[in-house]
Amino acid sequence: MTPSQKVLDQQRELDDLIEAHINNAPRSLQVEPGPSEIGIPCDLRLGYKLLGHPEVADRPRRLPWKAWIGTNVHRGLEELLTLANMSRPSWSENGVDRYQLEQRVTVGQVDGTDISGNSDLYLDGVVWDWKIPGGTTLREYKRNGPGPQYEVQAHEYGLGWELRGYPVTDVAIYFLPRDQEWPQRFLWSAPYNRDLALERLARVDGIAKLTRALGPAALPLLKRRASWCQSCPWRLPGSQDVTRGCPGDPDALEQAASELSDLIA
């Protein structure tokens, strides 16, 4: 049955409210990378970020609906675990939270600037991070693990908690399905690796110092490595000048070209 005009009018009203709310959510304008970006394997992408280089990717501006779902799953988990804290018998006596939620941690400095972020959960030596991927990405994580960016991010948060004076034994990423059922969830975990966290921080610190010293002239010196190029804000297909935009990962391009020539041959 076709909806009545009244229902269609109400749909428009509701859509306007929902879209305005999601589109007006505060966005980060910070130039320095957060702990989630320290592990980006592409030095050039980090260089653009550190320089505050204008985004060049010509992507259709979509309502960030999936990101909004992820944000609200985080909020729901925080609410659930806050109630779990308060319902523990010892909480009314000592007020100590078993589940430490959304705490701000500083993982170190990049070119003199603190790198801080909110950690989803600290629980008795284990630093947890929630991820809410769609089905295809979730299958990819199950096959190949979380990838370098998320893995480093997990250890950076571990470092942040350690610097706050908390013992850290393990890091864990809990992938909770955005569009599948609960049994499809996937847990990745590793012993906390302080050296990895410090090494990546030092790498980004080096890139930051280089970009501060040379400005955009530093960009051609930075190594490119595929890192979700399709969603990279600085991807400019065919670009010959990385100070304008990046054509993509050279190895990936080479591989695609050789696969194409295999097909043609």
CB nearer ligand SF4, residue 187 or residue 217: 217
232 contributes a contact to ligand SF4 by CB under 6 A: yes
Q: What is 48-93 written as a DSSP string?
A: HHHHTPPP---------HHHHHHHHHHHHHHHHHHHHHHTSTTHHH
**Nearest-angstrom CA–CA distance, 150 and 131:** 9
**Stretch in the footprint of ligand SF4 (CB under 6 A) among 17-25, 92-100, 112-120, 221-229:** 221-229
**Nearest-angstrom CA–CA distance, 179 and 241:** 40
The helix/strand/coil state of 126 is strand
Pick the binder of ligand SF4 from 235, 241, 254, 256 (CB under 6 A).
235
CB nearer ligand SF4, residue 105 or residue 229: 229
**Nearest-angstrom CA–CA distance, 248 and 28:** 25
CB nearer ligand SF4, residue 37 or residue 120: 37
CB nearer ligand SF4, residue 157 or residue 234: 234
**Stretch in the footprint of ligand SF4 (CB under 6 A) among 16-24, 61-69, 189-197, 231-239:** 231-239
Tell which positions 71-90 bind ligand SF4, by CB under 6 A: none
The widest CA-to-CA distance across the chain, in whole angstroms, is: 75
234 contributes a contact to ligand SF4 by CB under 6 A: yes
Least Cβ distance, residue 21 to ligand SF4 (angstroms): 30
CB nearer ligand SF4, residue 74 or residue 224: 224
- Here the tokens at position 217 are 């002239």
Tell which positions 14-73 bind ligand SF4, by CB under 6 A: 42, 44-45
Q: Kindly provide the residue ranges of all beta strands, DSSP E only, lying in the chain, ordered along the sequence.
A: 100-110, 113-123, 126-131, 170-175, 186-191
246 contributes a contact to ligand SF4 by CB under 6 A: yes
**Stretch in the footprint of ligand SF4 (CB under 6 A) among 73-81, 97-105, 168-176, 228-236:** 228-236
Pick the binder of ligand SF4 from 119, 153, 211, 227 (CB under 6 A).
227
DSSP state of 105: E
**What is the gyration radius of the CA atoms in the chain, in angstroms?**
22
Helices (H) and strands (E) in the chain, counts: 9, 5
Contact partners, residue 220, CB within 8 Å, separation at least 6 = 242, 243
**Binding interface with ligand SF4 (CB under 6 A):** 42, 44-45, 224, 226-227, 229, 232, 234-235, 246, 248-249
